[in-house]
Structure 1
Amino acid sequence: MTETLISLLSILIGIIAANVTGARYKKYSFGVIGNTIAGVFGSIFLIKSFGRLGFDPLSIMDNGMFHIGLFLVNCLVSISGGVLGVIAMKLIYNKLNK
């Protein structure tokens, strides 16, 4: 698995988490397209912010070896980013529409 594939998987996991959050909690939903956008940006933001702690794609593929533990942490952060992206987008939306 290459670093690019790990990055794309992280974004895909964030998209799935955002859409599941929108489907589960209707008050946070922006539809499929809105939830997908929130998932992409939320996932990328958290991975870039916290990836420096050692679970970025380069660290996962250190010296050609795949570290499953770091990949699982990366997946959890992507899920959190997708969920937080939808929630943050809803909070911003509510604040701007007052």
Structure 2
Amino acid sequence: MRQDRAFKEALSSFIATVFPTDTLLRALREMERHQVRMLGVVGEGGGLLGLVSESHILAAWGGDPLAPVSEVMARVTAPPRERPRLRLLLPRLRRKPRGLPAGKR
């Protein structure tokens, strides 16, 4: 739980960000400028859409350094909702009261 909180805090406070339409070259320059190996990719409203790492960029560099970041970024998805508890899905079974064993009546 504590580690999860630290991860969320790290995602919410990126030093540098790029837009999905920025080029790989621009993203690499931002990484060099801020001395980081990962950037947040944000939308127009500032919401986090994904992450792009130095390894993403270098893997795609031979293809086209002017390709948009959106082609190589790792998309961030919403966390899965908590699974509903099984006991809430199943109707409650009424147990018949057990009688005493035949020999103890």
- Relative to its length, the structure with more strand (as a share) is 2
Q: Same fold (TM over 0.5)?
A: no
Structure 2 length normalisation: TM-score?
Answer: 0.28
Specify which structure has the bigger relative contact order, considering alpha-carbon pairs within 8 angstroms and separated by 6 or more residues. 1
